[in-house]
Chains A and B, each alone.
Chain A
Amino acid sequence: MVGLLYDCLGNPLGAVRLTFEKALASSSADPSKFDGKDWGVVDLFRDFLYDQASLSQVPILNSNSLRWIQPNTLVRFRGMIQDMLGNEIYVGAYKDGSIWRTNKYADVSQSPICSSSEMRFWERRILYCVPVSFPPSFPVPGRGSWIESSSEAAAANQNRIGASQQREKRPREDEMTIDDMSLPRENGHASQSSQPRNVTEGSFPSFDAVPCSDSHISCLVKIYDTPESELKLNDVFEFVGVLTFDQESTVDNDCSDELSGSSEDMLVHLPSNKVPCLHCLVHRKLAIHDFICETISSEFVLPLNPTVFPWTLQPKSLTIKETREAILRHLTALLGNDDVAAHFMLLHLLSRVHARVESVAVGKLSLNLTCFSKENVSLFGNRLGLAIQNLIPFTHSIPLTVDYLNTASLAPRKDYETNRLITGVLQLAEGSHLTVDETQLREGMLNSVGVENARLLKNLMEFQKVEYDFKFYKMEMAADIQVLILSEGKSNILPADLVVPLRPSSASSSEILTEEALESWRWYLATLRSLPHTIVPEMQKIVEDDLVAARQADRSLGSQDFSRWLTMGRLMSISFGETSLSLEHWQMVKELERLRTERLK
């Protein structure tokens, strides 16, 4: 068969099998050669998806599309790796009569495996992924609505394409699959796919408190032949693969104690008939601008090739400077005409951890806006919250109260009963934004959970690390979360890098936002954030002299202050789209710091 004949979209497994046969033929029919290796499937699909730009035809998996997507077709899923369920060994290839067949990328073999036949065991990794824009256990009103709406639209679009293709392809698929159980399976599916929606929420023991958004579902992803280091916990990925529903796990209950013993942990507690399973063919790590670009407009070519620098996607040829001005105006208006605070806010929104030296996370810039009172926090706080949600894809907020601290589970913890990592509020994807509202904090007693939670938050601010509780020991995971704190006075529980007293002069914000402007701002934040940055030797000298002079003048300045200045310098020049620190920007930083310290007095 010629490559073009593969129906990668409608019958990916067929393509897998055909390539397997082909590869087998050229390797003297010895499947052991394929142990832990790919025989060309990944290349085929990569070529199909990226070089032929068919990625957009692949439907995105969510609970809406789940209704109409057929099992065993190609889907894509975007999500954060929330838990790793270890490796699974499966019958990768087996001999059916005299022919070797493969089960790769499938849960069920195409024909019943004769128990006498020869088999090869292969291995795959199981990941549990959750939709990323929704911190899984916390309700935020209107969170990430723009992402949702855009993907919704895309999905609807897919629906049409997918459905029509499906109809065309159906007969051929049936021809190709010798699978005698394929029919009943599909039937079973139709009936089942309508019900999961109602059950999704309660079905998860760990997430039952989660008012999960309707259109988002978690997904079990099975990864093949990929080095372990490539996929890390909390990474956001786009997986393209074969969708299956593993219905049979429910049948297990009647099995003997054996099963409930050794395999219970993985299977019984995963309602796999409710959670779709994706056998991943191609995966791609997503950065924030991957989410932005897609929403900007469909005219732009998707950054299929990760090496294409997102510059090319700049919308409407607005200059960076103009965008910067606009976003600053926006932030200023939001903060009651407080220009200084708006500047700091912008730097804060651009920050990210770009290096870790020892325990120091270089590049973080947490911001503590003080001088909020009970009256204006609802106004500014809400406005700010909404604005941030509009600008940054993954946002999250915590109302810091004694009650919350005492009850919330911030750190993810391992539940050995179910062998699952139960997520915590602080299990966030890289680049998430976290707003902590401390204005509601009243006097009260913290219990041990509260103390622990306060410590976790503090650790996050200081080291950008979150301790995961594995019961017998704790493990620190690196995080990259922008933290914004709203408080009345300087927060002592959460020591931020920057403390800026807010000086609003007006409370009204009559700005009307155009979708266009928002898009360009999102693009601006996401793109500039990842810019590389350097310093020229001359500038380095100037900076050093300034630091020394400052320390000579004020002995209380320490390495933390210097670090903050340099981070601000970096972010300042980045905010102008420049990749190396200039004197002008350094002066701006110094001026900002001067204004800030004045306010603190």
Chain B
Amino acid sequence: MASDSSPTRINGGPSSPDDSYSTPISNTFSSPAANTSRRRRRQSTPTDFATPPPSNRFPATPTETPTTNTRKKQRRTPISTPIASTPLSTDDVPPSSEGGDATDDVDEAPPMYVWGTNISVQDVNAAIQRFLRNFRDNNSDDLEGKYRRAIDHVIEVEGESLDVDAHDVFDYDSDLYNKMVRYPLEVLAIFDIVLMDMVSRINPLFEKHIQVRIFNLKSSTSMRNLNPSDIEKMVSLKGMVIRCSSIIPEIREAIFRCLVCGFYSDPVIVDRGRISEPTHCQKPECLAKNSMTLVHNRCRFADKQIVRLQETPDEIPEGGTPHTVSLLMHDKLVDAAKPGDRVQVTGIYRAMSVRVGSTQRTTYIDCLHLKKTDKSRLQVEDAMEIDNDLGRNAGDAPLDYEDKVAQLKELSKQPDIYERLTRSLAPNIWELDDVKKGLLCQLFGGNALKLPSGASFRGDINILLVGDPGTSKSQLLSYIHKLSPRGIYTSGRGSSAVGLTAYVAKDPETGETVLESGALVLSDRGICCIDEFDKMSDNARSMLHEVMEQQTVSIAKAGIIASLNARTSVLACANPSGSRYNPRLSVIENIHLPPTLLSRFDLIYLILDKADEQTDRRLAKHIVALHFENPESAQQDVLDLSTLTAYISYARKNIHPQLSDEAANELTRGYVEMRRRGNFPGSSKKVITATPRQIESLIRLSEALARIRFSEVVEQRDVTEAFRLLEVALQQSATDHSTGTIDMDLITTGISASERMRREQLVSSTRNVIMEKLQIGGHPIRMVELLEELRKQSSCGEVHLGDLRTALSTLASEGFTVLQGDKVRRV
């Protein structure tokens, strides 16, 4: 018997698939039924049955009893005897169709078709041969085809399988690809045969059975969308492994021994999950009845494992629970995945009956290939950093990736992209537009630079938010933390210096010293969010100096001297020194942090809560709308979180803007002016003076702004905006330089661009009115009269007394007017 199943038999196989699989193919829906019919035919007409190769591979027919599955063991042929893969060939004579031993001979045989289709076995056979022989990579000019080399390699290492990229098949012969996906059972069987044939030509002594493993299908299905029409087709799925069964040894060949005479039977092959025990001894001399017993250690077993795959969270619709699907793994694939792994599998979707007579079918995927999806690509964690990671949509097929990029590029071309991104950032946090813009810059970051001399300039932007309680600083912080999950969120009160940087610990068992990373090191290339910065101990805070400028953490203790990278942006928030901002004190006095540390922050935002009727009104409107209007109408024009993440990570990865000449000039000019302002007589101590650090900050900010537009060039407008951000951040426009205090009426934080424009307009129209009505040093005018006047001509809609007051104090600070009680005098 064993001799029967020589490798050549395998070669003879090609014709058989169409015999045996004729029915299944008639129609994919009914195929399982058809398979059954095949089974029945088998029993009745053994000659029909010469279909070993296919049955090796996909033996279990869905309608059969569950036990049939055991036959699957046969399919992954044991290494030593490829023959076992063709067990059934043993019990019958090759049918006439199997005329030739070599594949080539098949061509001469009358054309055979897979039943119910116009797929000719010979055609497929030839197509596969052509593919394996001739396929070449586009970019390699090798004389030998890609798979020729691969086959050689497999032979060399005595491998068991040949990985075939389905994209290659598609590129070479899309027709073959389609056939393969639609009729995987048949086509793969032929594939195996062709492969074995090629192998035996290259190395006739090679005995192992090599299988084809297809991967990287053109389209991958969502687990949710698997439906009856996919049965018996090749599918590709993504998911997370949630459970692996223990390894199940599956018997493939049994050997029996006669208890009477000790005669060993020939190997009995599993048939439909059953081993038929010989009823009597086959030794002609003995023929004892019911004397045969199984010899366990001479039987052959194969590994099998059942793995459960579950949908990843992003595929689950609202109000649903994740779907799962079973995977059947064999031989090499056993233990290839562990629970928690995210994988992409290619396999054949199959259904099998649960028990006899039941109408239910259990479905599973007969796994052909398993690829662990690179963790870093899937986890949002690295959204800020990793190449083609598209945030939450990570793991998309390359095709999707291209689409996505095109989409993002399209997005970046929109003229209002800056505003739109600002709106999309923490949309549920009210106002604070300028703060959000600063945070946006932080998310995009500038270009890190390393000069040949060794000096390096960080690209990360550090931001400090100082503000009154209840101005949603912490919410902003946690939002940013959510957006850049690489980031770490700590609270200053609970952090110690070592907790932030790194510390040396002794392993209690081995006594070895180990270095454990703290928050800053852990958030390398991310954003480290520190809440309650002011409550942090001075000691801990001083640790930040190094991190924030040099971007490293140096450790020198307990025999370990190390410098760890901590290329992190710091986003800290603090309350003013007296927990509420005191307008009578200067900005510096209010912030009350050491200037050395302050200067390391690129942007310091003073978020002051000022009784402003306008903002209150907008808040009221917003909330009323929230409660009484259709929520959908209110929510537009905001990018969702995943798009935002994708946008940011793409920009960080791919856009590296350079300063243009005008931009550079603008920078110099602006910086000089800033310095001059800092040197305002009598202000030396009370305002934050510009230092060379500031110009670096400005460069970083302008770069970030260019990045937001996906622009490779930093333009002048970026620089202007950077200056504006810097200024707005510290309320500098509202600061009285002579005293260093902030005029609360002039605070502009959280005022949207349109509002700011309205105010500027009001200032200029007030100026015009005053110019018209008043002479220098002349009679003062009452504010109410002025308001009347303004309302008459004003084009900017409703004017409130408060607005006017603001405008007048702006004018006063310019030295244009003087306010005396509620009277205005021009000077």
Contacts and interface: CB of A to CB of B under 8 A. Distances in A.
B613 A552 contact: yes
A248 interface: yes
B647 to A, nearest CB: 19
A357 B39 contact: no
B631 A357 contact: yes
A375 B651 CA distance: 63
A263 B66 contact: yes
B672 interface: no
B320 A228 contact: yes
Contacts of B354: 252, 259, 263, 267
Nearest to B621: A544
A121 B308 contact: no
A262 B624 contact: no
A115 B359 contact: no
B319 A233 contact: yes
B66 A108 contact: no
B623 interface: yes
A87 B364 contact: no
By Cβ-Cβ distance, the 5 closest A-B pairs, closest first, are: A232-B319, A547-B620, A261-B306, A119-B33, A121-B228
B282 interface: no
17 contacts: A84-B320, A87-B323, A107-B359, A112-B357, A115-B37, A123-B227, A357-B635, A358-B428, A358-B635, A360-B428, A472-B242, A472-B339, A547-B624, A551-B616, A551-B619, A562-B623, A566-B624
B40 interface: yes
Interface in A523-575: 533-535, 540, 543-544, 547-548, 551-552, 555-556, 558-559, 562-563, 566-567, 570
A552 B762 CA distance: 23
A232 B33 contact: no
Given A84-B321, A232-B319, A551-B616, A109 B631 contact: no
A118 interface: yes
Contacts of B226: 87
A180 B228 CA distance: 29
A563 B29 contact: no
A251 B355 contact: yes
Given A88-B361, A258-B70, 12 more contacts: A89-B351, A115-B37, A118-B30, A256-B273, A258-B69, A262-B364, A414-B322, A535-B627, A547-B623, A548-B620, A562-B619, A566-B628
Most buried by A among B273, B308, B319: B319
A195 to B, nearest CB: 22
Interface stretch (A65-73, A447-455, A473-481, A510-518): A473-481
Interface string B605-618: 00001010100110
Interface stretch (B183-191, B310-318, B659-667): B310-318
Given A113-B357, A263-B66, A86 B323 contact: yes
Interface string A349-360: 000000111111
Interface string A27-46: 00000100110000000000
A32 B611 CA distance: 70
Interface in B217-244: 224, 226-229, 231, 240, 242-243
A376 interface: no
A9 B672 CA distance: 90
Nearest to A474: B313
Contacts of B317: 228-229
B227 A36 contact: yes
B248 A257 contact: yes
Contacts of A109: 357, 359
Contact of A548 (B39, B273, B616): B616
A235 B320 CA distance: 11
- Interface size class on chain A is 35 or more
A83 interface: yes
Contacts of B64: 115
Main secondary structure of the interface of A (DSSP, over half): mixed
Interface in B283-334: 306, 308, 310, 313, 316-324, 326, 328
Interface in A216-261: 228-229, 232-235, 248, 251-252, 255-259, 261
Nearest to B326: A262
Interface of A: 32, 35-36, 83-84, 86-91, 94, 103, 106-109, 112-113, 115-123, 228-229, 232-235, 248, 251-252, 255-259, 261-263, 265-267, 355-360, 362-363, 414, 416-417, 419, 421, 470-473, 475, 477-478, 533-535, 540, 543-544, 547-548, 551-552, 555-556, 558-559, 562-563, 566-567, 570, 581
Contact of A544 (B362, B428, B620): B620
Nearest to B64: A115
Contacts of A251: 355
B597 interface: no
B32 A543 contact: no
Interface in B71-108: none
Nearest to A82: B321
A262 B631 contact: no
Contacts, number: 227
Contacts of B631: 355-357, 362
B361 A90 contact: yes
A533 B317 CA distance: 29
Nearest to B36: A115
Given A35-B228, A89-B231, A359-B428, A421 B321 contact: yes
A404 B470 CA distance: 33
B359 A262 contact: no
A88 B351 CA distance: 10
Contacts of A534: 628
Interface in B622-661: 622-624, 626-628, 631, 634-635
A475 B316 contact: yes
A248 B99 CA distance: 48
B248 A86 contact: no
Max chain A C-beta neighbours (<10 A), residue from B66, B226, B352: B66
B245 interface: yes
Interface string B339-354: 1100000000001101
Contacts of B319: 229, 232-235, 477-478
Contacts of B362: 262-263, 266
Given A113-B359, A115-B36, A552-B611, A86 B619 contact: no
Given A90-B361, A263-B66, A416 B242 contact: yes
B70 A91 contact: no
Contact of B619 (A112, A235, A259, A559): A559
Contacts of B318: 232, 478
Contacts of B231: 89, 121
B363 interface: yes
Contact of A248 (B34, B229, B358): B358
B491 to A, nearest CB: 16
A555 B609 contact: yes
Greatest chain B CB density within 10 A among A36, A115, A121 is at: A121
Contacts of A252: 354-355
Contact of A122 (B36, B228, B428): B228
Which residue, B240, B324, B635, has most C-beta atoms of chain A within 10 A?
A: B324
Contacts of B67: 255-256, 258
B32 A472 contact: no
A355 B613 CA distance: 28
A7 to B, nearest CB: 23
Contacts of A359: 428
A106 B357 CA distance: 12
A293 to B, nearest CB: 25
B428 A261 contact: no
B430 interface: yes
A360 B634 CA distance: 14
A125 to B, nearest CB: 10
Nearest to B274: A256
Nearest to A112: B357
Nearest to A412: B321
